[in-house]
Amino acid sequence: MKLTQTQFSASQYFAEEHPKTQIYLHHTAGNPNPFGVFNWWSNTPERVATCVTVGGTPNLGQNWEDGEVVQGFSSKFWAYHLGLKQDVFSYNGLPYKSLDKISIGIEICNWGQLSYKDGKYYNYVGGVVPASEVCELPTPFKGYKFFHNYTDAQIAAVKDLLVLWKGKYNIPLTYNEDIWDVTKRALKGEPGVYTHNSVRKDKMDVYPHPNLITMLKSL
């Protein structure tokens, strides 16, 4: 795993240590630049961020590697990355729990869902994604069958991070099928690996990429 530190202002996260019991997988819904994500967060007033981003395939001349992990702050600190409000917990009959503090987020640089039209694949902002970078799911996920592919290097980097944090925080890595939809296990703060879908019905990150699932099951 290639891990690169980047400058990220302490005003963009909380340098407070909390016990870590959960890991959430996200994708950025953006381009493959892992440094650009931190630049974007740096220009917002909210403390919204994850401690690491995972770069995608760079274009010629760009200065990162496929699967490169960029770190803006330590995993022992925290920032808002789930966007949870009281109503999510109330709807599920649970008391509010500040999951951002007890969890670690990983942002995979990826465009997410794609629309197919006139022989081309379009991301949600109208950009064309090459067919070589498209993952076609065997069954649609939240209404979409085509997604921007998570590269092998990105999936390998996520695996390395999960194993690292299991050793550091004793977070269990057992795969559970319920992580692709809202699950009370996540909202209760139960230890484990989850996706953004696990706590938000309006999200579709990460999506059930077959190779990602294979990796998670291997742990």
pLDDT in tens, 110-130: 999 999 999 999 999 999 999
pLDDT for res 31: 96
How far is C-alpha 73 from the chain's CA centre? 16
CB atoms within 10 A of CB 144: 15
List phi, psi (to 5°) of 26: -125, 165
pTM (2 decimals)? 0.97
| Percent of the chain residues past pLDDT 90, beyond the cut | 97
pLDDT for res 141: 98
Instruction: Answer yes or no: do 155 and 55 share one domain.
Output: yes
Instruction: Answer yes or no: do 214 and 167 share one domain.
Output: yes
* β 128-129/120-122 pair status: antiparallel
Which CATH number fits the domain that encloses residue 7? Answer: 3.40.80.10
Q: Give residue for tokens 């970078």.
A: 133
Angstrom distance (rounded) from CA 180 to CA 166 = 21
Instruction: Answer yes or no: do 185 and 200 share one domain.
Output: yes
Residue 69 forms beta bridges with which residues?
3, 54
Range of the domain at 125: 114-148
Instruction: Answer yes or no: do 69 and 103 share one domain.
Output: yes
Q: Indicate the number of domains in the chain.
A: 2
Instruction: Answer yes or no: do 127 and 167 share one domain.
Output: no
Exposed/middle/buried for residue 38 (C-beta within 10 Å: 0-12, 13-18, 19+): buried
179-210: per-residue pLDDT in tens?
999 999 999 999 999 999 999 999 999 999 99
Instruction: Answer yes or no: do 12 and 30 share one domain.
Output: yes
Instruction: Answer yes or no: do 203 and 122 share one domain.
Output: no
Instruction: Answer yes or no: do 164 and 196 share one domain.
Output: yes
Is 61 a residue whose pLDDT tops 90?
no
Instruction: Answer yes or no: do 24 and 35 share one domain.
Output: yes
* β 120-122/52-54 pair status: unpaired
Amino acid at 206: V
Instruction: Answer yes or no: do 142 and 80 share one domain.
Output: no
Report the candidate in 193, 46, 23, 208 with the shortest Cα–Cα distance to residue 112.
Answer: 208
Distance separating the N- and C-terminal Cα atoms of the chain: 17
Instruction: Answer yes or no: do 32 and 91 share one domain.
Output: yes
Q: Mean per-residue pLDDT for 69-89? A: 97
Is 1 a residue whose pLDDT tops 90?
no
pLDDT for res 60: 81
In sequence order, which residues have a C-beta less than 8 Å from that of residue 168 and are 6 or more positions away? 75
Instruction: Answer yes or no: do 87 and 133 share one domain.
Output: no
